[in-house]
Structures are given as structure tokens and as C-alpha cells.
Amino acid sequence: MKHTGLFRRSAPVAVETGRLADFAYLQPGAVYLDSACQSLRPQPVLDALTEYYTEYNACGGRVKYAWGTRVDREVQDARTAVLDLLGLSGRSHAVSFTLNTTFGLNLLLQQLPQGRFGRVVTSHIEHNSVFLPTMTAATRLGVPRLVLDRAPDGALVYQPAQLERAVVVVNVASNIDGRLLTNLTDLVRDTHARGGIVILDAAQAMAHERTLLAKTEADALCFSAHKMYGASLGVVVAAHDLLGSLELTFVGGGMVADVREDSFDLLTNDPGALLEPGLQAWGEIIALRRAIEWVGTVRPDGRPAAEHIQGLSQRLFEGLSDIPGLTLVNSEASPVISLYAPKQDSHRLAVFLSQSQIMVRSGYFCAHHYLKEQLGLPPLLRFSLGLHSTTADIDQAAQALARLMKGLS
């Protein structure tokens, strides 16, 4: 079979030096550096999807035949795997599956109870998935919206009084420069002490910074499986108390025990179902468990995954910092590094890099307010790493960009 794209299915023997065998389908020379958008999927995740669609492609939660009961077991195992990954208990928290992080955040924010909260709080460096729904949630609740700064280390800068009866919605890791919510524990404690709740955008944190979220006491967190080596899927992990307080307006089959002409009874034994109207992405949910298992055992170059990413991040940061004519947004190494060339158009640079099989993101990365309005920056280039990445990828990308900048000068 002739392959004309950048990806292919192949045996591990085709793997480049340093590349994990589970990414053997990646064509030699192809450098994918856009994992902050979506990570590449390792072979076990692809196999799990194929197995579901070819061996037991049934609905969950609705049938009694063998295929369906297997789906139910696999989905429950996926919920348990998510809770175990975060060190949380099913007695206090539930896992719901949805479209993506943005959808999950909206499901929570647009169904919060009226009259309980006094303000909505977020920060300037948020992705649009947080920044936009906090606007509409504040309008719906009839409360003011407060946008706060983040310190260089990522901590939310606040006064405790600003958290009074607040709905606090912030990211745990920035999709611009990777800075972390370093005062997460203090923020949750101070918010709860004043009758508020904390909802976390964990989309960027789940792949490489899960230790920050371990046993979190936040009321909910939302993330995307497709940013942590799973198939395209959104995940909401929420406290039972928060789920029970929602004023549900987005309802449907799969979340009710009984229906009458003018009323219905919600399921009482499955809090996670309150955010799951209709059929779910069964194959993608099942694949998420395989992704979690894979992340927990994989050792690139014989090293722990976190150590591998840390080493690549430093190499990438140093390599990009050495290129004349570039301005880095990052002040330190991170799995996500953004930059721009004041005299060049970032979209044009991305196209040129693509011609050398270097795939990087260009633009504002759904953070228009912070980058464009607050900082006044032009569109940026973003390099983001995954466990498929190698030192050869880093060097190839840095050398290609250096040649490009030299040729354009």
C-alpha cells in the first residue's frame, strides 16, 4: 500500500531511534508539535477503538445482551480509572463523559442554581473555553464577573474578600506558556471558607501535571481525553454536592428513571448521569481507560514519562532561545512554548515549517483576550510536546526554524 500522508500503520521495526514503538505509524521525518491541541494516540488506544467497533459495537446502559453488558463494564472501569488517577473516591465524586472540556464547563456553569452565588471569578490568561462561558454564566446568574491577574508563576492573584460566594473558574496549566496554578490548594480553601465553589479547566494539566490535581478538593474539574493520549472526548469530575445542586435544563434519555406526560424522575443512583443525556461515545470512553493505563506504564528511553517531557522541554526552550530574531513568551521551559518573530508573520512561518514536515500551531490559541487585547501581541507560534516526541524532533524543529529565520532576515 502506498502512503502519501504523514501517518501510517506499521510494525515497531519502523520506529525511529528514541521513538516509542506505540507511535510506529508516524512517518519518518514528520515532527508533530501540537499536542496542546490534541496528542497523538498510542497504538493501544487505537486498538481499543478498533476492538470496540469490530467486536462489541453496542449501546451502553440500555441493553441486556452480551455486547451491551460488556460496554457497561468497560465504561464503569473507565470512570473508576479516572477517579483512581486523581486519587478521588466514588463516594464523593462522579465522572461524566461529554464532548470536550468546553462543553463540560458549559454544562456546569449554565446549570448553576440561581440566588446562591454573588459573583463569577476568572483570570486574564484563560482559554476561551473558560473566558466565554464565565461571561454568559454571570449574565444568567445576574451577578458581576471579576477578571483577575495571574502571577508569573501562574498563581491567581486575589484578595480573600473577592471570593465571597464566588464561582471561581480558572485553568490549572496555561495553553500559552504552561504556567501552573501554583496556589490551587490555597484558592480552594479560601473560596470554600467564603461559601464559593471552584471549577477547574484541567485540559492542559492532565497530560503532564496531574500531581498538582491529586486528591483535589475543587468542586469540579473538566478535561479532554484527546489531550492526554485518548480519543476525542470530554470528561467532567464533579463532587456529588455540586451535581445535586444543579438546576438541570439540558436533559434527555440516559439520565432518567421514569417519564410521565408532564414530569420525570432523574436517576438517583448515578450522579454522573446527570450530565450525560443521550447516547455516549462508548468507544472513546473505553479507549480513555486504555490511555490512562498506557500513561501509567510507559517509559520513554527507559525514563518516567514526566522526566522525559521535562528533558525535552528544556532542550526545546534552549534551542528556540538561541535563534536570533525570536521573542519567547515563556520565561522558562515548559511542554508548551510560545513565541513570535516581530518582523515575520507567524502563520507564514507555520506554513513554511509545515513544508519541512514540522507541525506547530500559529495564532492566538483561543486566548485572544490575553494575548491580543492585554499584551498587544501579534499571532504567535506554539510548540507543544507529547510522549511521542524525541530529541531528534526537537533538534529538527529548532534547526528548521533557525534556517527559516536566517533566510528571511
203: confidence class by pLDDT, cuts 50, 70, 90: very high
Model confidence pLDDT, tens digit, residues 73-116: 999 999 999 999 999 999 999 999 999 999 999 999 999 999 99
CB 274 within 8 A of CB 255: yes
Is the Cβ–Cβ distance between 284 and 49 less than 8 Å? Answer: yes
Q: What is the mean pLDDT of residues 311-334?
A: 97
Q: How far apart are CA 75 and CA 335, in angstroms?
A: 30
pLDDT band at 268 (very low <50, low <70, confident <90, very high): confident
**Domain-ending residue, one of 296, 326, 358:** 296
Q: Is residue 16 part of a domain?
A: no
Query: Into how many domains does the chain fold?
Result: 2
3-state secondary structure 275-297: HCCCCCCHHHHHHHHHHHHHHHH
Query: Cβ contacts of residue 151 below 8 Å, gap of 6+?
Result: 157, 182
Residues 228 and 284 in one domain: yes
SS3 381: strand
- Average pLDDT across the chain, whole number: 94
Identify the three-state secondary structure at position 336: strand
Q: Answer yes or no: do 264 and 115 share one domain.
A: yes
- Same domain for 164 and 261, yes or no, is yes
Asked if pLDDT for residue 13 goes beyond 60, the answer is: no
Residue 8 lies inside a defined structural domain of this protein: no
- Looking at the structure, do residues 192 and 180 belong to the same domain, yes or no? yes
Question: Cβ atoms within 10 A of the Cβ of 181, count?
Answer: 26
Question: Is 5 inside any structural domain?
Answer: no
Residues 222 and 307 in one domain: no
The pLDDT of residue 15 is 44
Q: Is residue 312's pLDDT more than 80?
A: yes
Q: Considering 247, 266, 296, which residue would you say is the last residue of a domain?
A: 296
Would you give the DSSP letter of residue 294? H
Residue 301, pLDDT score: 85
Q: Residue 355 in 3-state DSSP?
A: coil
How many other CB atoms sit within 10 Å of the CB of residue 69? Answer: 14
Residue 188 lies in a domain: yes
> What confidence tens digit (pLDDT) does each residue in 128-137 have?
999 999 999 9
- Name residue, grid cell 531528534: 392
Of 132, 202, 147, 138, which Cα lies nearest the Cα of 171?
202
Let me know if residue 320 belongs to a domain: yes
Query: Around Cβ 32, how many Cβ atoms within 10 Å?
Result: 22
Q: Going by C-beta distance under 8 Å and a sequence separation of 6 or more, which residues neighbour residue 380?
A: 176, 329, 338, 339, 340, 346, 362, 363, 364, 365, 371
For residue 408, is pLDDT > 80? yes
Return the pLDDT at 409.
79
Of the pLDDT bands very low, low, confident and very high (cuts 50, 70, 90), residue 17 is: low
Structural element, H or E, at residue 259: strand 256-259
- Label residue 5 by pLDDT band (50, 70, 90): very low
State percent of the chain over pLDDT 70. 96
Which of the two residues, 3 and 121, has the higher pLDDT score?
Answer: 121
Cell of 173: 496549566
Output the nine-digit C-alpha cell for 5.
500522508
Would residue 2 count as lying in a domain? Answer: no
Give me Rg for the CA atoms of the chain.
22
The rounded distance, in Å, linking the Cα atoms of 393 and 29 is 8
What's at 53, amino acid-wise? Answer: Y
More confident residue, 358 or 302: 358
* Residue, of 302 and 237, whose pLDDT is higher: 237
Predicted confidence (pLDDT) per residue in 342-358, tens digit: 999 999 999 999 999 99
* Residue 402 near residue 156, CB atoms below 8 Å: no
Q: Is the pLDDT of residue 269 over 80?
A: yes
- The reply to whether 241 and 200 lie within a common domain is yes
Does some domain include residue 4?
no
Looking at the structure, tell me whether residues 360 and 244 fall in a common domain: no
Q: What CATH number is attached to the domain comprising 399?
A: 3.90.1150.10
Read off the CATH number of the domain in which 137 is found.
3.40.640.10
Is 11 inside any structural domain? no
Average pLDDT rounded to a whole number, residues 279-291:
97
18: pLDDT confidence band, cut at 50, 70 and 90?
Answer: confident
Indicate if 113 and 138 belong to the same structural domain: yes
- Check pLDDT > 60 for residue 8: no
* Same domain, yes or no: 101 and 141: yes
The residue behind cell 486566548 is: 367
Range of the domain at 372: 22-42+300-408
Q: If we measure between CA atoms, which residue out of 33, 42, 39 comes closest to residue 297?
A: 42
- Report the C-alpha gap between 116 and 121 in whole angstroms: 14
The pLDDT of residue 14 is above 90:
no
Q: Do 57 and 150 lie in a common domain? A: yes
Same domain, 76 and 198: yes
Same domain, 290 and 332: no
384 C-beta neighbours (distance < 10 Å), count: 28
Task: Quote the pTM value.
Answer: 0.94
Cβ–Cβ < 8 Å for 386, 207:
yes
Which H/E stretch holds residue 397?
helix 391-408
Choosing from 269, 296, 323, the residue where a domain stops is 296
